[in-house]
Amino acid sequence: MQEGGILNREITRLLARMGHMDELIVCDAGFPIPDGVDTVDLALSENRPRVTEVLGVLKPHFSVEKLVVADETRSHSPSMLSQIQAVLGTTMTLETIPHEALKSRSRDVKAIIRTGDFTAYTNVLLVSGAGDRWHVEKA
């Protein structure tokens, strides 16, 4: 029996399928999830769990090279954006796009994890990257 790491078998399955440049969204409770996209629904009740809680659990197990959020996240929920960056680190690339573009892009992500977060525009697209474990020989 697994007693450490991520205990949710569906999230473990999703992470095992991710490769370099694959995309995963961790979204709030109201994000419109497209039909057919592999989804793990963690929403239990209002603000349970929060997007930042899920990101904190994912971080040690999932290499991220770029973070994509809606422009509206910056303008409507700037403190949440700061919290997201604090959890994931401020050194990775941050891209902002219109919320409508994020919703369109969600049709092509590998998976979505839905939370119970009720903070407006708290939807985070994570672009999988090669972590610091990869060895590169220099000529």
Residues with a catalytic annotation lie at 20
H-type alpha helices, the chain: 9-17, 51-58, 71-76, 78-88, 99-105
Distances (CA, A) of 90 to 64, 67, 77, 82: 12, 10, 17, 9
Q: How far apart are CA 80 and CA 11, in angstroms?
A: 23
At which residue do the structure tokens 């672009």 appear?
127
The DSSP result for 90-102, as a single string, is SSSEEEEE-HHHH
Q: How far apart are CA 59 and CA 88, in angstroms?
A: 7
